[in-house]
Amino acid sequence: MKTEFIIEAALAIQQTILANESTLESLDREIGDGDHYINMKRGATTVAEMQADLAPLKPDEALNKIGMKLLSTIGGASGPLLASFFMSMAKVLKENGDESNLKIAAAFAGGVQAIIQRGKAGIGEKTMLDVLIPVSNEFVLLATQNCDVKLICATLIHTAGQGMLSTKDLIATKGRAAGLGERAIGHIDPGAKSCQLMIETVCKLALAK
Amino acid sequence: MKKFINKVDNILVESLSGFAKAHDDLVELHLETNFLTRANKAQNKVAIISGGGSGHEPLHAGYIGYGMLDAACPGHVFTSPTPDQMLMAAEAVHADKGILFIVKNYAGDVMNFEMAAEMLPFEHATVLTSDDCAVVNSTYTTGRRGVAGTVIVEKCVGSLAETGADLQACKALGDKVNKRTASIGVALTSCTVPAAGRPTFDINESEIEMGVGIHGEPGRRREAMRPADEIIGDCVEAILMDFKTRQLQPTKKHEALLLINGFGATPLMELYLIYNTAARLFNLHNLEISRSLVGNYTTALDMAGASITLCLLDDEIKQHWDSPVHTAALRWGK
């Protein structure tokens, strides 16, 4: 992994978030409190603006810096969760290196684990983890089997989509929609949607390489 | 959307600046990291810090001052503040007896305060407020939300802290007040988050949202609009049921504090009407309302609606509720 790719991914994610304003806003208006898009936009824009600061850094340093910045920028639940993801991913990369798909997958899994711990949530609770846990598991599995980047990315885009859609029929037990009970059924979780969009964006970028 | 706005991104800074200017005898605004402290730092006491998303004014900055908070950290509208704000606020107000965070039980607030606490170089504790009994099945969820009852917790803990009590005693009182408090809210309209520019939820003229949260997040259920006494009756019943479920219902005459809180767009005239009915109904259930508070104390921007909060008093809580307080939004006895 190269820092250059991280920066390209950050810019691409910003474009994706901006392009999905109405989708994210309406999902959050249905079962949340309407601030998800605004917070994601603030985070994505802040990271995109860090380009020059990130360029001279090593990949793990760049991801850690992104995490620290998100922690003091986004707020809400997304802030500490996404920050924990990047900071933990950076930590694993720093310890293990980043020269193979398997090492990157392990770092991604470490980031997801940090979200699980910080959010005290698991799969099936109608949150971003319904996307992240399956993607993380699949990523590690495919990397262990020495699959190439193209197959990995194509599969993860699919897995992320499935995970996102799976939140539609769930009752929320974590997050802002947790007070809704059965009324949350039929609505996709906005956090799961934004995670799916980000994963899809990064995978498409990697596929185009 | 028709609001007093110059530039959406500047609302918070302009509003906080105005607040600090209007109450410069009480508070000081630290704009670089976005937190407020008392104008005159208190010494030799547990420092009480609260915070949360903006849009609930006067919560929390309106409760900075003698007898309540030492500092408050406002986040963006309906978005919890970030850990750096809490760390800087703690640095500014700690007075060698530790830091007590008072946090409303919302995932974002909990996580940001938790991360701040992990990084804090001082002795610290946290009181999580969770008075909203609208959230049912709490065993399966993040749990009950912290709403208007938070004001009662902040008042009582703030009072105890002024006596020089230690951190554990302050936390214990906060937990006790929270446990003995239950709230439920009803929305008549939605609120509009300025940056979103349109109402958070759709609700028509003939509907109400029962059990709404203070961010306009949906509650228990959508119901038909009815005469006030029927709606208030359901709210009172929900609170009584909650005390019963938690085995706190009084079997003989018991003193209580009744807080009728407006969400921002409901006039005081209606809030007092609610008080009138709620007090009468609670009285029928052994609850003698000996303390009251009616007004906009934990708002949800421009939402029309109100919440009813009941706190079961004991001598200790009563003493700390009655003690002098001098803040922008609550002031008596001093």
B217–A32 CB contact, under 8 Å: yes
Select the residue of B79, B81, B217 nearest A179 (Cβ to Cβ): B217
CA distance A115 to A117: 5
To the nearest whole angstrom, how far is the Cα of A102 from the nearest Cα of chain B? 30
Give the per-residue pLDDT at B144: 87
B140, pLDDT greater than 60? no
Q: Which residue of B has its CA nearest to A84?
A: B115
pLDDT at B108 over 60: yes
**Is the distance from CB of B266 to CB of B275 less than 8 angstroms?**
no
Query: How confident is the model at residue A189, as a pLDDT?
Result: 94
Beta bridge partners of A56: none
What's the predicted TM-score (pTM) here? 0.91
Pairing of the two strands B71-77 and B181-187: unpaired
Low-confidence ranges of chain A (pLDDT < 70): 176, 179
- List, as one string, the DSSP characters of B96-107: SS-EEEEEES-H
Q: Which one of A32, A118, A179 has the shortest CB-CB distance to B219? A: A179
Cβ(A101)–Cβ(A155) below 8 Å:
no
CATH dotted code for B181-313 = 3.30.1180.20
CB contact under 8 A, B217 and A177: yes
What are A70-127's pLDDT values in tens digits? 999 998 889 999 999 999 999 999 999 988 999 999 999 999 999 999 999 999 999 9
Average pLDDT value over all residues in chain B: 95
Residue B137 has pLDDT above 60, yes or no: no
The arithmetic mean of pLDDT across residues B6-10, rounded, is 94
A179 neighbourhood in chain B, CB within 8 Å: 134-135, 141, 145, 211, 213, 217-219
Is residue B312 very low, low, confident or very high in pLDDT (cuts 50, 70, 90)?
very high
For the segment B198-243, what is each residue's pLDDT rounded down to a tens digit? 898 889 999 999 999 898 887 778 999 999 999 999 999 999 999 9
Query: What is the least distance, in Å, from the CA of B212 to any CA of chain A?
Result: 9
How many angstroms away from the CA of B327 is the closest CA of chain A? Answer: 27
pLDDT at B143: 76
Tokens describing residue B253: 């005459």
Collect all residues with Cβ–Cβ distance below 8 Å to B275 and sequence separation of at least 6.
B258, B260, B292, B294
- Answer whether B10-179 and B181-313 agree in fold: no
Q: Which fold has domain B10-179?
A: Rossmann fold (3.40.50)
For A3-207, CATH gives 1.25.40.340
- Please state the domain extents for chain B: 10-179, 181-313
Q: Where are the domains of chain A?
A: 3-207
Could you give the 3-state DSSP secondary structure of residue A16? helix
